[in-house]
Amino acid sequence: MEIRCVVAIVRSDVLEKLEKRLGAIHIHGVTVCKVKGFGEHPNYFSDDWTTDHIKIEIFAQEANVDALIREVTAIAHTGAGGDGVVAVFPVERFFRISTSSEAMP
């Protein structure tokens, strides 16, 4: 089974709802970081063009990726600029440090 890394950068106000929804669809491992940046819609009226967002990284089996993307986009979507982005990357190998063995997420 192929593994993918799904990376989502979303507004910080959707994090709690997103965490609950991911648990409901049996996604039990996420990494969350606070990030700053700007994309298509920088804030030109501020001295600092960046905005605060949340970056979420999830390792998932390929079969679950489409459902995961649907959940993230459904929860984070407002239709306004700055809703965020989702990217999917292939994972060449995946290891569990606790067992020193190659594993599936």
pLDDT of 36-49, one tens digit each?
987 776 667 777 87
pTM: predicted TM-score of the whole model, two decimal places: 0.85
The CATH code of domain 3-102 reads 3.30.70.120
Q: What is the CA radius of gyration of the chain?
A: 15
Place of tokens 């063995």: 101
The CA distance from 76 to 72, in Å, is 6
Residues 6+ apart with CB under 8 A from 70: none
Single-letter code of the amino acid located at 92:
E
Token readout for 90 is 């292939």
Q: How far is CA 61 from the centre of its chain?
A: 15
* pLDDT per residue as tens digits for the range 66-79: 999 999 999 999 88
